[in-house]
Structure 1
Amino acid sequence: MITRANIQAFGGFLTGMVLPNIGAFIAWGLITALFIPTGWAPNADIAKLVGPMIVYLLPMLIGYTGGKAIAGTRGGVMGTIATMGVIVGSSIPMFIGAMILGPLGGYVIKKFDEKMEGKIPAGFEMIVNNFSIGILGMILAVAAYKTIGPAILAVNEVVRVGIEALVQANLLPLLSIFNEPAKVLFLNNAIDQGIYAPLGVQAALEQGKSIFFMVASSPGPGLGLLLAYWMFGKGVSKESAPTAIIIHFFGGIHELYFPYVLMKPKMIVAMILGGMSGILTFQAFGAGLVAFPSPGSIISFLAMTPKGGYLATLAGVAVGTAVSFVVSSFLLKLDTQEVTEEDFASSKDLMQQLKGKKTATSVTATQTVAKDINLIVFACDAGMGSSAMGASVLQEKLKKSGVDVKVMNTSVEKIPQDADLVICHESLLERAKRAAAHVEFITIKNYVAAPQYDDLVKRLSH
């Protein structure tokens, strides 16, 4: 049965292959922005790095990461070999192929190792381990070269034609109708890394930049929403908005504005219109980025903007902000009810209703509460943005209270087995339980200002 949690988990897995390698994407983007003929410091010699990095390095890193996620280092090696098959057999950067072949390679070697466990004669372990990867890797690479690669190219051509039709008909802004609701249901990473990043990289290789890096990651619409809450909101939503603005716009953590939409679902209209107007402006000015901006902050946007493109980038962000702000302000003025702490907390109920689930409690009643807590783990979809921010906030509170407990952050699929307490967003609880059902869970709705942090500090101080 396909559930929203399963879709999130799938998107999280795709994200887990891309995000650890974002540094490499940024390195490629900076080399492109600086040294290609139209760059800031054209250098034909150094620019020779651009093609091999995008064609070979980045897909192979994704393939290795995907294989390693399935079967450790052996899976990573196997995934890389398999990925090479689709790279050689294609004429485009094979990111989609890497996302398929990397995990497939890991799965194949994992199943082989399970079958051979306890059956290898003493002294032959190394030869079996090495030749198993060599033989199976060869078979999978040849299969990828002859069949999987061409199939992916055919699908890619269909997608490319469809996207080009949208662009030529000036219908690209309509993607916001899908992007914005999906983002607030925590599918933002799946959309960015799974869909737009591969499309953007392919377009950037051909044109030097791509608008696909901007259609779902622009900080403009979220900024407009938060500014409206700051100026016209009431109660706790107004008070918390300034902090959320700084972290969202300059830190690139878009999850900060999600509760503000879920608290008043009609605000999704402002997000859609802000997103559509921003994309329309990007199109009108011929905007594009040289690489994927991660995180989606204004700093990342400007860093990935090619020479001569700053006006286009800033115009799109500004228009998206303005439209979202105007619509959000109008909707807030129509609502005279003050948002209390309880109302802000009730956004979790709205989230569960939107997802078709029952509301999760702050601490799951069925879990056994850990008596001794030595490791607290923050878990989020990708294990980098929101969870890192939450871990930092809690660590600071614990430090001020003199509590010596280790706090770390990770993705929900990689929660360490020695964790004593896991803190995650309530929408991710089901996935987190699959990874670590034996621990105590605390669910939150806001990684920055969750009231559960103070309760936990008091509990650990005694």
Structure 2
Amino acid sequence: MEAVNSKERIKDKTTIKVGAQKVGTFLSNMVIPNIGAFIAWGIVTALFIPKGYLPNEKLAELVTPMITYLLPLLIGYSGGKMISGHRGGVVGAVASIGVIVGTDVPMFIGAMIMGPFGGWAIKKFDDMFQSKIRAGFEMLVNNFSSGIIGFILAIIGYLGIGPIVSNIMAFLGNGIEFMINANLLPLVNLFTEPGKVIFLNNAINHGILGPLGVEQAAQTGKSILFILSGNPGPGFGVLLAYMLFGKGTAKASAPGAAIIQFIGGIHELYFPYVLMKPLMILAVMAGGVAGTLTFTLFDTGLVATASPGSIISVIAMTPKGEYLQILAGVLASIVASFVVAMLILKADRSENEDFESNVTKMQGMKAESKGVVLNTASVNTKTESESVGQTISSANVKRIIFACDAGMGSSAMGASILRNKAKKAGLEIPVTNSAISDLEDEQGTLIITQIELNARAQQKTPSGVHETVDNFLSSPKYDQVIESLLRS
């Protein structure tokens, strides 16, 4: 009986975690495609406000319209598009304008609510009435239904949702201000660092801290919230400890992972090293707390989200005259996480470190965060030694696409690696990366995904040729693909 109850408790915990990951992924997917716009706003802010590098009263007038209208509308459009394509995006944007105009603060949270709500509303309308529209009236009904539903939702947002979200934002803002004034903000890292390792990193950074940070930056020109999750220091400290005191595969792979994580900003690379030894969570927590404490003491922050979370992005988003303060915080987080990780590794007496199984474990957790049920046994038994020559040839492959959930990060790195290999081999074939949701079903396309995302990619592009890899950054499949294309 106790065993049954234990299994039920584990199942409940897993369900809660997966639910949180799905919500987090949904929220972050509204922001990540628009990061370029956020960076543009950050650059304008850093340059032209009175405290900027090139103060300019006229050009500084770009700051308020961008943060008040452009960025929330992009989020609202993206949220609606995720639910019901372009039509959903249009209705989501119209619905979002209601909450934007109805309040006097940047309405990112409101847009995250109204955008998907608008997409859902138009999708339900289409499901109910699309089959009942007479031939020749499709355009009329589609256009007017979008307009009317958007109009109604905009009014609801203006009169109802906007004031409610505004009060919630004010409450959260006051709470953050209290934590900053009381020097309690470093305690937030006790929750954000473990959350990152279970793939809530995008949800934390783009779904929660980012919107709150934008409001703070609009008032002060910077926000410490932008650096809380994007700080590359804690992960780099752990990888540095593995480089010097690790064993086996983990030690051998740590240098490359450290460079890509710190400079490239792909934080996922250090997650397996933490999962390998659960006590390592203390190292990243220590690094996060030390870094945030330093940022708080120096009263510093960034002008916009550092995305990806690389040291280059962090420096680029640093306010004028605060480079030393930001670098001091990053260095403090590196030292703290390195010292704790070193002590953990030195105290460890185990002979072997099963790094590969933890990569697989990480992939399973990443799959859960995207709503994919991953059969761990199949992952462990399905290796990259399977032949690719049977399905890949120059006759049926005219382009190669690396696909992942967001179309950024590790898939871009994988595409770059294979592109260089193809160039050296004399192959003139386009190699790009994309989000799975943006794939188009075209013949002559080789789609390369990680194992846990292969089913989604095949559903999206059944006419394409599909291959899987365990790790975008290091895979023998790349050489096999090149050989297959050269042979045919």
Q: Does the alignment reach a TM-score above 0.5?
A: yes
- AA of the residue aligned to 1:19: I
2:356 corresponds in structure 1 to: 345
Following the alignment from structure 1 to structure 2, what is the Cα–Cα distance between the partners of residues 128 and 59? 28
- What is the Cα deviation at residue 213 of structure 1? 0.3
Residue pair 1:67, 1:80 contacting (<8 A) in 2 also: yes
Offset of residue 37 of structure 1: 0.9
Equivalence map 1:278-293=2 (5 Å): 278-293=291-306
The 8 Å contact of residues 29 and 290 in structure 1, kept in 2 or not, is answered as: yes
Q: Are 2:281 and 1:268 equivalent residues in the alignment?
A: yes
The amino acid of 1:266's aligned partner reads: L
Determine the C-alpha separation between the residues in 1 that align with 2:403 and 2:20.
17
Deviation for aligned residue 1:349: 5.1
Cα distance in 2 for partners of 1:423, 1:177 equals: 36
Aligned to 1:155: 168
Instruction: Give the alignment partner of residue 417 of structure 2, picking from 390, 393, 397.
Output: 393
Which residue among 202, 206, 209 is the counterpart of 1:196? 209
Of 403-412 and 128-137, deviating more is: 403-412
C-alpha displacement of 1:152: 1.2
Q: Which residue of 1 aligns with 2:407?
A: 383
1:371 aligns with 2:391: yes
CA distances 1:97-127 after superposition (whole Å, capped 9, x unpaired): 1111111112222222233324333443332
Which AA in structure 1 matches 2:330?
Answer: V
The share of aligned pairs that are identical, in percent, is 53
The 3 A distance-change label for structure 1 pair 206 and 305 is same
1:313-462 alignment runs, 5 A limit: 313-337=326-350, 343-348=354-359, 350-351=361-362, 359=376, 360-361=378-379, 371-372=391-392, 374=397, 377-401=401-425, 407-418=431-442, 423-425=448-450, 442-444=468-470, 446-454=471-479, 457=482
Of the structure 1 ranges 216-225 and 355-364, higher mean CA displacement relative to structure 2 is found in: 355-364
Instruction: Trace 1:3-82 onto structure 2 (pairs within 5 A).
Output: 4-82=17-95
Q: Cα offset for 1:3?
A: 5.4
RMSD, aligned CA:
3.1
Give the C-alpha shift of residue 423 in structure 1. 4.3
CA distance in 2, matches of 1:6, 1:422: 28
Cα distance change of structure 1 residues 40 and 411 upon mapping to structure 2, 3 Å threshold: same
Which amino acid is the alignment partner of residue 416 of structure 2? S
1:250-269 → structure 2 map (5 Å cutoff): 250-269=263-282
In 1, the alpha carbon distance for the partners of 2:227 and 2:139 equals: 48
Could you list the per-position Cα deviations for residues 169-193 of structure 1 after superposition, in whole angstroms to 9, with x for gaps in the alignment?
3221122222122212222111111
Question: TM-score if structure 2 supplies the norm length?
Answer: 0.84
Counterparts in 2 of 1:440 and 1:6: CA distance versus 1, 3 Å: farther
Q: Secondary structure at the match of 1:410?
A: strand
| Aligned-partner SS, 1:191 | helix
Deviation of 1:204 after TM superposition, in Å, equals: 0.5
Match of 2:9 in 1: none
AA aligned to 1:348 is V
- 1:297 corresponds, among 298, 310, 322, to 310
Contact 1:364 1:440 in 2 (8 A): no
TM-aligned CA deviation for residue 264 of structure 1: 2.5
Tell me how far apart the structure 2 counterparts of residues 435 and 225 of structure 1 sit (CA, whole Å): 38
Correspondence 1:89 to 2:102: yes
8 Å contact kept, 2:24–2:207: yes
Secondary structure at the aligned position of 2:468 is classed as strand
Q: Distance in 2 between matches of 1:435 and 1:363?
A: 25
Query: Following the alignment from structure 1 to structure 2, what is the Cα–Cα distance between the partners of residues 188 and 422?
Result: 26
Kept after mapping to 2: 8 A contact 1:429/1:443: no
Q: 1:304 offset after TM fit, Å? A: 0.8
SS in 2 for 1:346: helix
| 37-46 or 422-431: bigger deviation | 422-431
Per-residue deviation, 1:293: 0.9
- Following the alignment from structure 2 to structure 1, what is the Cα–Cα distance between the partners of residues 30 and 450? 21
- CA 1:190–1:429: 2 relative to 1, 3 Å: farther
Q: Check whether the contact 1:244–1:257 (CA below 8 A) recurs between aligned residues.
A: yes
Instruction: Give the Cα separation in 2 of the matches to 1:351 and 1:197.
Output: 25
Partners of 1:407 and 1:371 in 2: CA distance:
18
- The amino acid of 2:36's aligned partner reads G
The CA distance in 2 between the partners of 1:118 and 1:379, in whole Å, is 34
Aligned to 1:179: 192
1:84 Cα offset (Å): 0.3
Distance 1:450 1:262, change over 3 A: farther
Q: CA deviation at 1:55?
A: 0.4
Q: Sort the Cα spacing of 1:126 and 1:429 in 2 relative to 1 into closer, same or farther, 3 A.
A: closer
Provide the C-alpha distance between the structure 2 equivalents of 1:223 and 1:447, rounded to a whole number of angstroms.
20
- SS of alignment partner, residue 379 of structure 2: coil
Q: Distance in 2 between matches of 1:112 and 1:249?
A: 47
C-alpha distance in 1 between matches for 2:109 and 2:142: 28
Deviations along 1:227-283, one digit per CA (max 9) or x if unpaired, are 222222233322322222221111111112122222233222111100111001010
Secondary structure class of the residue paired with 2:402: strand
- CA separation of 1:441 and 1:361: change in aligned 2, threshold 3 A: farther
Structure 2 vs 1, CA of residues 128 and 358 (structure 1 numbering), >3 Å: closer, same or farther? closer
1:125 aligns with 2:151: no
Cα–Cα, structure 1 residues 263 and 460, in superposed 2: closer, same or farther, change >3 Å?
farther
CA distance in 1 between partners of 2:300 and 2:238 (Å): 23
**TM superposition shift of 1:415:** 4.7
CA change 1:35–1:404 in 2 (3 A) is closer
* Structure 1 alignment gaps of length 5 or more: none
**2:114 paired residue among 94, 98, 101:** 101
Q: Secondary structure at the match of 2:222?
A: coil
1:157 is displaced (CA, Å) by 2.7
- Measured at CA, do residues 60 and 352 of structure 1 come closer, stay the same or move farther in structure 2, by a change above 3 Å? closer
The alpha-carbon deviation at position 391 of structure 1 amounts to 2.2
Gaps of 5+ in 2: 1-11
Q: Does the 8 Å contact 1:59/1:94 carry over to 2?
A: yes
The alpha carbon displacement at 1:339 in A equals 5.3
CA distance in 2, matches of 1:214, 1:127: 48
